[in-house]
Amino acid sequence: MVGTAEIEVQKDGGTKTYTLQKGHRLFLPTGSTYSAYMNKGSIVVKASDDKLSDDTTRMIPSAVACGPMFSAESGLEFQQIKAVDLYLDTQLGGHFHLYNERFFLQSGSANFELEDVVTKANRSVGMLAGDVLHINPGVAHKVQLSKGALLIGSTTEPYVAPEINDHPYDF
């Protein structure tokens, strides 16, 4: 996005307004509608129609979008971005992929268990809000996330289905 825009999001009879600037991302819940009021000279690029959440609208500030997670300096071209917003302590994963993943923890805490599927080298990585974790191809992972955590992940390959992308792994 170039310039700024005011985005009004309507859901369940309520309206909330977000001011977006260069580098910001806005994830919209299913069933919401929006109106965009762009300032002169502004351009909005629509990244995806994927539904990320049924009940949560989150603005991802430029500190996330322009930081190491999505940085051009990373040398990676990400094909998908996903957001996981949790209302309970949760464990996810237990698999590996044949492509790179990068995770940014916007809020809450997380503990990743990682294991190289060939060498069996393993480690634990604790994350707090603002931390970024890169996972290479062939590294199995599972994560314990705290209630209230917002984890944003990106992958270098599009996610099609668990049967295609996820390779189950027992730790």
Between 19 and 93, the more confident residue is 93
Tens digits of residue pLDDT in 143-158 = 999 988 888 888 888 7
* Range ranked top by mean pLDDT from 30-34, 70-74, 159-163: 159-163
pLDDT(55) > 70? no
Residue 71 pLDDT > 80: no
| pLDDT at position 39 | 63
- pLDDT value of residue 68: 43
Q: Which two tokens stand for residue 99?
A: 């492509």
4 versus 171: the higher-pLDDT residue is 171
Smallest Cα–Cα separation from 143: which of 113, 104, 170, 165? 113
In angstroms, the CA 27 to CA 30 distance is: 10
Mean pLDDT of the chain: 74
Contacts of 148 (CB under 8 A, 6+ apart): 86, 87, 107, 108
Rounded to whole angstroms, how far apart are CA atoms 31 and 44?
21
Residue 119 has a pLDDT of 95
pLDDT at position 145 is 92
Hey, where are the domains in the chain? Answer: 1-61, 67-171
Q: Residue 63 gets which letter from DSSP? A: H
CA–CA distance, 156 with 126 (Å, rounded to integer) = 23
Phi, psi angles (nearest 5°) of residue 63: -60, -30
For residue 95, pLDDT over 90 is answered with yes
pLDDT of 9 higher than 90: no
Enter the CATH code of domain 67-171.
2.60.120.10
Specify the higher pLDDT residue, 153 or 59.
153
Provide the pLDDT for residue 36.
67
Name residue, tokens 């990320």: 52
Mean pLDDT of 34-62: 49
